[in-house]
Each structure stands twice: as C-alpha cells, then as structure tokens.
Amino acid sequence: MTQISVIEANKSFGPQHILRDINLHVDSGEFIVLLGSSGCGKSTLLNVIAGLEDLDTGRIIAGDQDVTNVDSSRRNMSMVFQSYALYPTMTVRRNLGFGLRVNKVPKAEIAKRVEWAANLLQLTPLLDRRPSQLSGGQRQRVAIGRALVRRSPVCLFDEPLSNLDAKLRTEMRLEIKKLHQELRSTIVYVTHDQIEAMTLATRVAVMKGGKIEQYATPDELYEKPETLFVAGFVGSPSMNLLSACIHIEDGEPMAIFGDRQLPIDAYPFRQPAVNGQEIVIGFRPEEVQLADDRTTLPTLFAPITFIEPMGADTLVWFAFGEQKFSVRLPSAKARGLSGEVRLAFNASSASIFSKESEQRL
Amino acid sequence: MTATPLAPTLVYTVPRSSSMRPGRILLYVILSLALVYYAIPLLLVISTSLKTAEELRNGNIFTLPQSLNFDAWTKAWMTACTGIECNGIHGNFWNSVEIVVPSVILSILFGALTGFALSQWQSKLSRVILLSLMLGAFIPYKVILYPLVRIFSSVGLYGTLPGIILIHIIFGLPYMALLFFNFYQGVPPELSKAAKMDGAGFFTIFFEIMLPMSVNVLVVAIIMQATGIWNDFLLGLIFAGRDHLPMTVQLNNIVNTTTGVKEYNVNMAATFLTALPPLLIYILSGRYFARGLAAGAVKG
C-alpha cells in the first residue's frame, strides 16, 4: 500500500499560523491518529494530506510521488467526513458507486464492489434509500462504505464518530478497527477523543498549537508522555500532575510537596536532576497503591477528600495541601477507607516534567 | 433530515377567535381590494375579446358578451393586419418560443455555472467579480443599449436570432449568477470536497451533484427568465430583426395599426394570447416558486 510523508509543512489562514513545521511519516498500512483539542490544526493537517487545502511551504509525499501540487481528485485517497457529506440526491447505491463511476470503473465491477461494501457494513437493505431516509449511524456507515469501495491505498477519516451517540460510537470504533485489520490500507484518522486514539491507532500524533507534541504508539504515549500537555490530555481519568521541587540529599533526589518529601531516585532521569528545580510530577491513578507491611516502595500519608465509585474501580481523591490527586483502587479495597491513608508511590513508572519547559526530564 | 414525527404539542392549531378580530377583517378587506384591482383589467380583456364588432359598438366596456364568440381570437392569431401584411400573431408566437427557449436554458446554465464557480473559489478576485455582477444586475440596460447595438452590428449579430438570444443571456447572467451563488453558498462545502476526493472534477461535481440539488432554485430561475424574456419588448424590437420579432412587438404593431374602425376585440384577444404563456407558467409553478424563493431567503 502507500506510505505518506509530510515534510516541513506550514500553513496559515490570514494571521493565524495553523501548521508550524510539521513533519510526519506514516508507514504503509499504519493507522495513524491525529489527536488534539479543537483548533490545534489536526483537521487542517488532514485536509493538507488530502489536497483540499494548499500548503504555504513544505511537501507531501504519498508512496514515492510528490503530491504537493497534485489535485485532490488525482491523489487516489478516499476520505470520510465528519458531516458524512453524502450526496443528497443519490441513493445509497449511487453514493457508494459515485467515485468508481467517476473513475471509469466498469459497471459490473462497480456493482460487485458496492455489493461487497454493503455486505460488509450491513447496508444491503438500505441500498435504494436516500441519505435523508437514514439514521446517523447508517449515514456514517455509508460514508465509510463510500471510502472503502474505492480500494484506495490511503484512507482519511475526519472525526467520523463525533456525531454518534456513545453506544454507537463504541460499535463503530470496533468496526473501523476490524476493517483496518482486514484491508490493511494506510489510515490517517483525526479525532479529539483520546479513547478513540488509544484503541484504534498504531501510532498517535498528539497536536497542540499547530505542532506535533509527541508521535508514538498508544502505550508509549500513555506510559511515557513527552510533554506536560500530552500527559494531561491522554488517559481517562487523567494523569495526576503535582507541582513539586527537587531537593537533592546525599546524592538522592527527592520531590518536595510542601512539608512532604518523596524519594524519586528510581526515576530514570535523562539528565541528572538539579537541586531546587521546579518540576511537575505525574503519575497515573492506577500506579499508586495502598501501602501494606510488605511495601518496599517509598510511601507517604495523604488525607482522603472524597470517594468516587465507578463500578469495577473506585476513584479515591487525596490532597497534598492544595494539590488534589486521584488513586484508582479496586472497589472492594476502597470500601470503608477514611482519614489518612499510607500510599506507595512507584517513581520508576512516574513521569517528571520540567515546570519551565514542560518537557519530560 | 430524518423525518421525525411531530410531537402533538407542536401541531399548529388555528385559534378560533382569530377570525373575529378586527385586524383579520381589515386584512381580508385589503386582500379583496387588491384582488379586484388586479383581476378587473384581465377580466375586461377576456370579456372584450369575446364580443363581436356589433356588441362593441353598442355596449360599453363593462357589458358582458352575449355569447362565447372566439372569432376575434382566430383573427388575432391568423389574420390580424400590421400595415399590408395580415398574418396575425401566430408566426411571432413561434418567434418568441425560438427566442425564449434557448435564452432561458443558456442563461440559467451559464448563470448557475458562474454562481457555482464563485461559491467554490473564494479569493479577492472572485469577490471583485461578484461585486461587478451585482452592479451589472442593477444597471438599467437602456443605458448601454447604443454601445451594444454598435458592438453587435460590428460582429454581424445585430438583427439575428443568435444575436437576440445572446443579448438575453448577457442581461440574464448577473441575476442568475447571484441567485445560484446564493444557493450554492449555503450548500455544505464538504459535499464538493467529498466529490473531489472521489475523483470528480469541476463539471462532474456541478452536473452530477450540485445541479440535481438545485431543483427549487431552477424552477425560480426558469419562471423569472421565461416570463421576463417573453415579456421583453425593447430588446426584441431593437435586436431581433424583422424576421424574428417576438410576439410582444407584433402585438404592439397590431394594436397601433389603424385601418378603419379599431378592432378592440381583436386587440384584446391578441393581448390575452400574448400574456397567456407567462400566466400559465405562474399558475402551474406557483407552488415551486414560493418554495424556491423561501429556500433562497433562508440561505441568503
């Protein structure tokens, strides 16, 4: 199939610099998710890859061809739009077949592929309806089907699930993942939903302010966020981020929270820690445990502020002075907790960021 | 949109007392007066056209015809005279058809294409073009008649059928382009983007996706252009040439030809026959017209 490279891409709308020196390489058959909150430039980046927006500077390579100046209709990519963008005057059948017809595919082949897509997406009974007679989920499937029948090596998705309700979204997410595993086309997928990103992607590019903050596998993104923004954005419930100060005693770095101190010598610092440096220490709610007698990890006492049951797990909120943080515990263990609790922190799996540069230390 | 059944509370019911309110009564009085005001001339035309010469001499304009006598209609159609020729207006009816049909189709086609192109292409230059189209729609055409005559005669189009058709296309273009531009601006841009991704070019997108969506606007455009061009007098008189004079010009010639007694019944019949096509268009398409205008209004 096809690999895609975006090289030194810049794009402005008037005074707004939407894409800033974007470099992105997508391997053939990968499922890349562009993740970010609205206005971060992720949709613009997708449109640039699609050729629906022109770049100010930079290049787009698809396969072994420089497509920077190739019209979107000649890039041989298919796209699923957030608003579905089904052709309102055509039946589902004609919607699905339109791209093939325009590309002069023989009629018999069109019929075959439309049937195949309709089967795959369970659209067969709807083939002769118009888009206005379909529900949101059905329209969504037609939009995906329209992209699939093309069998184009590159498939672009622009927030395709954001208009669906929660249940349907989960279903469609699975469908899309299954489709990718079957068809193995290269997919670039835009979303602001980090769960979609984590479940679907082979790699995720987290974007903020027109830049890619981190481009990594979902696991790496979750376990080793490169920046404070990624740490806060990825994961639900989100990572606890506590401001602290480094204090080095006998060569052993400690994180100081007010009157508490936590040894962090187990953390794999990239450069040696600096005494007095302002940091933000991040740990996932599930990485903190209740300490018992066998605990060898550093421990701290913390007062419980409130308890949030979530079914299988319970989120217990603690506070170090003004700074709140949550710990995810099995519901059975959380029951009956109150007052001050001794918690065990594993610094080796934590993330520590410089407060000033917001980069991982 | 999905067809959702209306909740019972949303069903609009006419309040019973409203028919008794003074405002309501006033409204009906005004509407009735307007109806009379517009209907009387038309009814007089029809009634006069059905009278014989005898009845015309003896009665006044408001007396009703004694029988349904279509002699005046036949005469107007076949043998009414202008000067020495006595061929009625039937030939000019076909002249008008020959002018109206291609003019309507082509002016709408080019107008829709221009409107679509402008809606797709957003730049400084496109805004300048849009503005000049707007100016074009508001300039009274009498102002540029003379230069147009000179231009057309210098390229040999003056007084020819293609010439008069071209004139109607040119004068129809600004308004048609604005009408369609307005509509296509309201169409979600993703539609043409999706078609582009599907590999469709400009004309494919226009003919296969945009034009089929524009039925309501097309109906409005057809009504406006067909009635406008059919009713045109001045352009036909100046640019059509002797062999292609439209019905309106011939009507004027018949009415203004005085040999002996004025045949009011024939004149009225000719008038009615000339006015009939636009009248039929309005009556047959009124529903679409209202719908299309409303669609345009919401989008604009």
The CATH number for A153's domain is 3.40.50.300
Query: What mean pLDDT do residues A112-139 have?
Result: 90
Among candidate residues A84, A92, A88, A65, the one with its CA nearest the CA of residue A76? A65
Task: Tell me whether residue A136 is in a domain.
Answer: yes
Give the pLDDT confidence of B22-45 residue by residue, as tens digits. Answer: 888 999 999 999 999 999 999 999
Q: What percent of chain A has pLDDT over 90?
A: 48
Question: Which of A192, A207, A233 represents a domain boundary (last residue)?
Answer: A233
The verdict on a CB contact (< 8 Å) between B3 and A133 is yes
Q: Specify whether A214 is located in the same domain as A80.
A: yes
Predicted pLDDT of residue B209: 93
Task: Tell me whether residue A71 is in a domain.
Answer: yes
Task: Tell me whether residue A311 is in a domain.
Answer: yes
Note the ipTM here.
0.83
Min CA distance, B265 vs chain A (Å)? 50
Question: Which of A233, A265, A297 represents a domain boundary (last residue)?
Answer: A233
Confidence grade of residue A124 (pLDDT, cut at 50, 70, 90): very high
Predicted pLDDT of residue B195: 94
A132: nearest CA in chain B?
Answer: B1
Element (H, E) at A281: strand A278-283
Task: Tell me whether residue A253 is in a domain.
Answer: yes
Q: Specify whether A211 is located in the same domain as A338.
A: no
Q: Specify whether A40 is located in the same domain as A62.
A: yes
Residue written as token pair 């400009």:
B202
Is the pTM above the cut of 0.90?
A: no
User: In terms of C-beta density within 10 A (0-12 exposed, 13-18 middle, 19 or more buried), how is residue A5 classed?
Assistant: middle
Predicted pLDDT of residue A99: 93
The per-residue DSSP string of B2-51 comes to --PPPPGGGS----GGGGGSHHHHHHHHHHHHHHHHHHHHHHHHHHHHTS
Q: Specify whether A148 is located in the same domain as A255.
A: no
Q: Specify whether A302 is located in the same domain as A220.
A: no
Check residue A195 and give left, alpha or beta (phi > 0: left; psi -120 to 50: alpha): alpha
Question: Which of A233, A257, A275 represents a domain boundary (last residue)?
Answer: A233
Cβ proximity of A328 and A279 under 8 Å: no
Q: Specify whether A21 is located in the same domain as A84.
A: yes
**Could you tell me if B203 lies within 8 Å of chain A, comparing CB atoms?**
no
CATH number at residue A261: 2.40.50.140
Task: Tell me whether residue A14 is in a domain.
Answer: yes
Residue written as token pair 């390579």:
A61
Among candidate residues A341, A322, A340, the one with its CA nearest the CA of residue A244? A322
Task: Tell me whether residue A361 is in a domain.
Answer: no
A102: nearest CA in chain B?
Answer: B200
Task: Show the tokens assigned to B281.
Answer: 């268009």
Predicted pLDDT of residue B5: 43
Residue written as token pair 């991040």:
A282
**Could you tell me if B188 lies within 8 Å of chain A, comparing CB atoms?**
yes
**Domains identified in chain B and CATH numbers:** 90-299 (1.10.3720.10)
**Could you tell me if B200 lies within 8 Å of chain A, comparing CB atoms?**
yes
Confidence grade of residue B55 (pLDDT, cut at 50, 70, 90): confident
The answer to whether residue A243 scores a pLDDT higher than 80 is: yes
Give the pLDDT confidence of A202-222 residue by residue, as tens digits. Answer: 999 999 999 999 999 999 999
The verdict on a CB contact (< 8 Å) between A85 and B193 is yes
The answer to whether residue A60 scores a pLDDT higher than 90 is: yes
**Could you tell me if B4 lies within 8 Å of chain A, comparing CB atoms?**
no
Q: Specify whether A212 is located in the same domain as A303.
A: no
B198: nearest CA in chain A?
Answer: A99
**Could you tell me if A98 lies within 8 Å of chain B, comparing CB atoms?**
yes
Please count the helices (runs of H) and the strands (runs of E) in chain B. 14, 0
The answer to whether residue B287 scores a pLDDT higher than 90 is: no
Cβ proximity of A92 and A131 under 8 Å: yes
The answer to whether residue B2 scores a pLDDT higher than 70 is: no
Confidence grade of residue B6 (pLDDT, cut at 50, 70, 90): very low
The answer to whether residue B292 scores a pLDDT higher than 70 is: no
Give the pLDDT confidence of B174-214 residue by residue, as tens digits. Answer: 999 999 999 999 999 999 999 999 999 999 999 999 999 99
Predicted pLDDT of residue B294: 56
- Residue A330: φ, ψ to 5°: -60, 140
User: In terms of C-beta density within 10 A (0-12 exposed, 13-18 middle, 19 or more buried), how is residue B50 classed?
Assistant: buried
Please, what is the average pLDDT of chain A?
90
Number of structural domains in chain A: 2
Q: Which residues lie across from A283 on neighbouring strands?
A: A240
Cβ proximity of A183 and A153 under 8 Å: no
Cα-Cα-Cα-Cα dihedral sign, residues A63, A65, A66, A71: negative
The answer to whether residue A160 scores a pLDDT higher than 70 is: yes
Task: Tell me whether residue A360 is in a domain.
Answer: no
The answer to whether residue B17 scores a pLDDT higher than 90 is: no
- Parent domain of A247: 240-354
Predicted pLDDT of residue A1: 58
Predicted pLDDT of residue B53: 80
The answer to whether residue B290 scores a pLDDT higher than 70 is: no
The answer to whether residue A30 scores a pLDDT higher than 70 is: yes
Q: Specify whether A100 is located in the same domain as A72.
A: yes
The answer to whether residue B229 scores a pLDDT higher than 90 is: yes
Confidence grade of residue B297 (pLDDT, cut at 50, 70, 90): very low
The answer to whether residue B137 scores a pLDDT higher than 60 is: yes
Min CA distance, B298 vs chain A (Å)? 19
Residue B137, Cα to own-chain centre: how many angstroms?
16
Give the pLDDT confidence of B89-116 residue by residue, as tens digits. Answer: 888 999 999 999 999 999 999 999 999 9
Cβ proximity of A262 and A345 under 8 Å: yes
Amino acid letter, B296 = G
Q: Specify whether A261 is located in the same domain as A332.
A: yes
**In whole angstroms, what is the distance from residue B138 CA to residue B149 CA?**
20
Which of B1, B197, B212 is closest, CB to CB, to A72?
A: B197
Query: What mean pLDDT do residues B44-57 have?
Result: 86
Predicted pLDDT of residue B295: 53
Predicted pLDDT of residue A168: 81
Q: Specify whether A151 is located in the same domain as A256.
A: no
Q: Specify whether A127 is located in the same domain as A171.
A: yes
Length of chain A: 361
Q: Specify whether A143 is located in the same domain as A89.
A: yes
Provide the number of CB pairs (under 8 Å) joining chain A to chain B: 72
